[in-house]
A and B are shown apart, each in its own frame.
Chain A
Amino acid sequence: MLSITVKDDGEIVLSGRLDASQVETADAIFDRVATTTRVNFGGLDYISSAGLGVLLKTQKRLSQSGHFLVLTNMNKLVRDVFRIARFDLVFRIEETP
């Protein structure tokens, strides 16, 4: 299951798994994002191509107005998926120390 919360400062916090069955839930939040926004992956255990698609679609839309997503706190396995997809090229990813 996926849990998404939006904090008072606008940061989106993800936990659980972002898979093909959770796209509608994720879209409901990400479709409302209109400015540069931090997305905290700290509790996210799993992402597949469907989840990457939600983020890519949002990034494309935001870029048209000069905004973007900042992705933070990824665990190693999720970070590997972004690397394999070459999403380093299209997202700002803050590395976890």
Chain B
Amino acid sequence: MQRTIKREIRSLEEIFLFLGEFTGSHGIGPEGAYGVTLAVEELFTNMVKYNPQGDPDILLSLACDQRNFVATLTDCGGIPFDVTQAAEVDTTKSLQERPVGGLGIHLVRQMVDTLEYHQNGRCGTVTIVKNLEQSDAFHHR
């Protein structure tokens, strides 16, 4: 299933509804649903914030089988950004040293099993995969 989503933060409500319908109709459990929902929010929000010159819409596709829940976000136009190359944040810093931003990609990396980026012409596609066969905890790496 896929949907075109307007490039604005308030589109998150539509994204959550789409994800909720998909996970509900496919019997995806709360851990798988949470991990993919958070990853989609973080990646979509980055596209809205850091690629405002991109096309007005971003394409969100969802698919699953018995083993994996896969979401892809396709962002065309503007400035391509390979999110897999984003610097890792230092989560061991003290309260005063911790920056307020930058945690999103760290959470994505920890909560899904695969994060891939492909550039094809003027479009960048981020693919996230959550393995549904794992236990009831997030995949801590």
Footprint of B on A, CB under 8 Å? 1, 17, 19-21, 46, 48-50, 52-53, 56-57, 59-60, 63, 77, 80-81, 84-86, 89-90
User: Which residue on B lies nearest to A90, using beta carbons?
Assistant: B95
Interface residues of B in 113-141 (CB under 8 A from A): 137-138, 140
A1, A17, A48, A85 — which one has the most chain B CB atoms within 10 A of its CB?
A: A48
List chain A residues, Cβ under 8 A from B12.
19-21
Judge whether A63 and B95 touch: CB under 8 Å.
Answer: yes
User: How many residues does chain B have at the interface if contact means C-beta atoms less than 8 Å apart?
Assistant: 30
User: Which residue on A lies nearest to B12, using beta carbons?
Assistant: A21
A sample of 25 inter-chain contacts (CB < 8 A) reads A1-B13, A17-B16, A19-B16, A19-B41, A48-B38, A48-B41, A49-B42, A49-B103, A49-B104, A49-B107, A50-B41, A50-B45, A50-B104, A53-B100, A56-B100, A60-B95, A77-B30, A80-B137, A84-B107, A84-B140, A86-B92, A89-B92, A90-B94, A90-B95, A90-B98
